[in-house]
Structure 1
Amino acid sequence: MDLLLTYDVDTTSPEGRRRLRRVAKLCEGHGLRVQKSVFEIVADEKDLLRLLDRIDATIDTTCDSIRIYRLPHHGFDDVQTLGTAQTQPHRQDLVL
């Protein structure tokens, strides 16, 4: 499934800044960062549940926010971009 994951972590404290780094690291392991707090992710249900469980264990639910949008199958194939944004290859092997 194609997912758009966004997050807003309260960084007014050192703990919040650590949570932000942890959430970003988790997301980097599952998808492509397309903006500072926005990731495009291709995952199956099992991978999504694993990611959600890890994020839920990381965030402070009283002040942090995670939003996940399920897109139509191959929804990333129809992304329009403006400015410096570029489309990303989601289903190809990534070389790190």
Structure 2
Amino acid sequence: MLILVCYDVNTETSAGKTRLRKIAKECVNYGSRVQNSVFECILDNTQYLVLKNILSEIIDEKIDSLRFYNLGNSHRGKVEQIGRKQGIQVEEALIF
């Protein structure tokens, strides 16, 4: 299923900057960055729960925001791209 992970981390302190780096690093392990604080991740249910748990432990719920949008397995018609960066089709073979 396609999960869109979006986050907003308060970076006014060094702790906030550290949280931001940790969240981005974890998201890179699970998907592709499509905007500064937005990742598209193709995950099964177990991977989704693991990622959600990891990120939930990193953020400060009082000042940060973390959102997960489940676009499901039939996501091809649900995402429209306009602009410079085209996402990769992670379900398909990559040929270099």
Deviation of the 1:34 alpha carbon? 0.4
Structure 2 counterparts to residues 46-65 of structure 1, below 5 A: 46-65=46-65
Deviation of the 1:81 alpha carbon? 1.5
Which whole-Å CA distance do the structure 2 matches of 1:68 and 1:93 have between them?
26
Structure 2 counterparts to residues 2-81 of structure 1, below 5 A: 2-75=2-75, 77-78=76-77, 79-81=79-81
Gaps of 5+ in 1: none
TM-score by length of 2: 0.88
Deviation of the 1:94 alpha carbon? 6.5
TM-score by length of 1: 0.88
Aligned: 1:82 with 2:82 = yes
What number of residue pairs does the alignment pair up? 94
SS in structure 2 of the partner of residue 5 of structure 1:
strand
Gaps of 5+ in 2: none
Which whole-Å CA distance do the structure 1 matches of 2:82 and 2:56 have between them?
32
